[in-house]
Structure 1
Amino acid sequence: MAADPNLFDEESGTKRFRAKRDAILAAAAQAINEQSAKGMTFADVARRVGLNTTSVTYYFKRKEDLASACFENTLERLQAMLDEALREPTPQARVAKYLSINMRRLAAIQAGTETPFAVLSDLRAMEEPARGPLMAGWREVFRKTRTLWGPAKTRAEKDLHGARAHVLLENTFWLPIWLTRYDPDQFDRIEARLMNVFEQGIAAPGRSWAPEMIDLDHDTSEPGRAAFLLAATRLINELGYRGASVQKIASELNVTKGSFYHHLDAKDDLVIACYQRSFDTIADAQHLADDAGGDYWQRLSSTIATLLDVQFSERGPLLRTTALSGLPSSVRAEMVERSNRIARRYAGTMSDGIAEGSIRAVDALVAAQALMALQNAAFDMRNWARTMPRDRAIAFYASTLAFGLFDDRVLSL
């Protein structure tokens, strides 16, 4: 019996449609990663795939539909990666598998055989009705990541698994930022060194969690400007660079838009000022910990604890790196370089601690970037932290890298 030629035409057309749609999604993901979801335009996406703008609207009627589809694709791929990792028999094997899948993906992107998926930093800035399902998808990713450690027997275990899941996810999201400093033939080595930190932590055997909280200097700048930067930092962390409009920031403080321009000349200046405030806070904590003396594990743990206290408190969070996608490339590079200088100082502290014996023999540069991810993402865990005493929240969250993702000693604190 002869095959129906119309059937092949239909199948061929479906394949072409899917291929073109996938190409548009890949281009849109790149645009989102460079410019944020609100900054992405049909015209730019069309240019990247060699189409005109009208052709893109054949696949996606509105820009919001395209952004939503990009985020759905990211969430689906994360779910698939986690499903693969969950087939492993132990928590250590599952985490190692999830990290390995991420490293293979990044190597393929570097080789040009795979395209990046859209980062999720703008998820909260999406409008309804898209926002609800997307946030539900993100919560499912988080819950599935938490199950890498198996079922929690107590509320404390569930809290600890939640901290571990968040730190693991944020480290894999942060990898593309700093992995560019290494050649692809070093990726296997980086994977092994990072997994070593995940497995055994940073503190030397026998060391405990007993940080000394550092009294950070209060902001002595103009009070109105300090309040403005604090409100802006919170909103940008929650809504992204483009989601946090000048009007929203002014409304948060119950002032006029004119007040904004009294303190800063432009919105880019605002984000740069927020970053400088955050970087200065981190650098102050590092400097004051060194001034206080003690062994290098004491200095490092005190710095981490103090900065987590800042992140979990109302006195002012640090600005998330999610705001980077909205900045001009030259400014973005400058902010990343300042971040790298802070990471190198962490690495120096760890190198001295390794020589001293208070810190394990880890790859200090890799461990420092893992700490940057932990510290940067802690803002998102502030609601989690409010469900328990502050010192317990800090200890649970910090333990993920202090003692590794599989050490339960913190449960006895």
Structure 2
Amino acid sequence: MAKKPDTTTKFGEKRAAIVHAASVLINDTGVQATTLTKVARAIGLNATSVTYYFPRKDELIVTVYAETIALMKQTAEEALAEPTIERRIAKFVALHVALRDRIRRGERGLITALSEIRSLDQEQQDGLLAEYRAMVDDVRSFFGPPGDDAQRALFSARAHILIEAMLWWPVWSLRYSILDFPRVEKKIVEILCHGIPSQSGLWEPVPIEDGGWRTAADAPASQNDEFLRAATMMINERGYRGASVNRIAEALNVTKGSFYHHHDAKDDLVMECFQRSYDRLSKVQMAGLQLKADYWTRLSSVLNELLDVQFFDPMPLLRTTALQALDSEHRNDVVMRSNRLARRFAGFLIDGIVDGSVKPVDPLVASQIIMSTLNGAYEARRWAARFGEQHVAIEAYLSALSEGMLAD
């Protein structure tokens, strides 16, 4: 007698294929451009077949996000089982590197950009954010039970920086062959565990005079600057889809017509936000290079200034999570500009190794960790606001780079 096909297995396999295809599309084009029709086409189905598994697009998006968070939590739990902080960090990094290796070799499995969770219905995002916080709690537990509120805040910052570094890894890992992954993995762990300066814990940044990258409190902003500020804040908070033209206009109490007077389309505004953010970051870098100091002092002064902008300026830098919504040409332009800024940080590090102020770290790897740390700092604005003094918040956050995550 012939064995009946396992319909449950087939259902699960088809559902998994749909989720994976949607995940790829979200990473490539963003949530808004991901449709059930495109998902169906990617795996050789028609849209009706997809609706059998996911009647509505939002249900599919929620499933993609939930499975990504579940994978990240599984990774965190596996790392948490290691006996020491260093081995937990090393395991967490190793699992993320191994996942990227398997994907490059053709295996299914993907970490989806989570930037647009807050564009979902409140009930949907509440459930996902609760699951995400549980994963963050696991990563914070890598560092042991906090002795007091200050130590808990420190562990929270380190967990955030570690997670952001692994979420940024898929972007810059493309610059490496998988044959180089073991070496890169080792260098990531060294930097995260032990920091960058040759004198561990050294943090004596020099004030940098504002060169136009801060929001002037005493000067009226142009309407276009107001659009850029509102769009940057809203994209950082809600992702590309959640930052609708209507919401941006309402935030400024202007009409949609006023928006389109300044910008032909929302994508033009997003590109201008990226351009403004990268221009500001570049200006701070160049100002830091002019300081009369060793290169770790120059770099720490730049990082101090940029963290101050990210934490406390009315207009922070735009998060790179908006990348997913851009078309491939614009996305490539943004990634190329980001890589140029990272290479400039690498230049600080190389010159610091030469003058003895920086450990002999891999400057290309360290520069990408710096970029992810700066990029993710926006999410820590509420964390930073709890500190009585701004410089204390910045120093605590950046201690992950100045002394590493193993320091007390």
TM-score bucket of the superposed structures, by smaller chain: over 0.9
Specify the SS of the correspondent of 1:361: coil
Are the aligned partners of 2:202 and 2:402 in contact in 1 as well (CA < 8 Å)?
A: no
Deviation string 1:125-180 (CA, Å, 9 cap, x unpaired) is 11132111011111111111100111101111100000000000000000011110
Contact 2:19 2:64 (C-alpha < 8 Å) held by counterparts: yes
- After TM superposition, the structure 1 = structure 2 runs for residues 136-175 of structure 1, keeping only pairs within 5 Å, are 136-175=130-169
> Hey, what's the Cα distance between the residues in 2 that align with 1:218 and 1:333?
27
Percent of pairs with identical residues: 42
**Match of 1:217, SS?**
coil
| Post-superposition offset of 1:36 | 1.7
Cα distance 1:291–1:186, how it changes in 2: closer, same or farther (>3 A)? same
Q: Tell me the equivalent position of 1:328.
A: 327
Matches within 5 A, 1:182-261: 182-205=176-199, 208-218=202-212, 223-261=222-260
Corresponding residue of 1:99: 93
Task: Provide the TM-score with structure 2 as the length reference.
Answer: 0.96
- Following superposition, the deviation at residue 259 of structure 1 comes to 1.5
What does residue 170 of structure 2 align with? 176
Alignment partner, residue 267 of structure 2: 268
Q: Give the aligned CA root-mean-square deviation in angstroms.
A: 1.5
SS at match of 1:117: coil
Distance 1:378 1:36 in 2: 22
Partner of 1:301: 300
2:41 maps to what in 1? 47
Q: Report the TM-score, using the length of structure 1 for normalisation.
A: 0.95
Post-superposition shift, 1:123?
A: 1.1
Instruction: Map 1:322-401 to 2 at 5 A.
Output: 322-388=321-387, 389-401=389-401
Distance 1:81 1:266 in 2: 40
State the shift of 1:111 in Å: 0.5
Aligned partner letter, 1:214: I
Runs of 5+ in structure 2 lacking a partner?
none
Quote the residue 2:282 is aligned against. 283
The answer to whether the 8 A contact 2:211-2:284 is kept is no
The one-letter amino acid paired with 1:202 is I
Q: CA deviation at 1:38?
A: 2.7
Could you say which residue in structure 1 is the equivalent of 2:56?
A: 62
CA 1:397–1:55: 2 relative to 1, 3 Å: same
Q: How many Å separate the matches in 1 of 2:342 and 2:407?
A: 25
AA aligned opposite 2:12: R
Between 1:375-384 and 1:208-217, the stretch displaced more is 208-217
Q: Distance in 2 between matches of 1:343 and 1:216?
A: 21
Does the CA-based 8 Å contact 2:20-2:108 persist in structure 1?
A: no
CA contact (8 A) 2:200 2:403 kept: no
CA distance in 2, matches of 1:356, 1:260: 50
Q: How big is the shift at 1:222?
A: 6.5
Are the aligned partners of 1:70 and 1:117 in contact in 2 as well (CA < 8 Å)? no
Question: Do 1:26 and 1:117's aligned partners in 2 also have CA atoms closer than 8 Å?
Answer: no
Larger CA deviation: 202-211 vs 81-90: 202-211
Asked if 1 retains the 8 angstrom alpha-carbon contact of 2:353 and 2:360, the reply is yes
Cα deviations across residues 341-379 of structure 1 (Å, max 9, x unaligned)?
000000001000000000111000000000000000100
Unaligned runs of 5+ in 1: 409-413
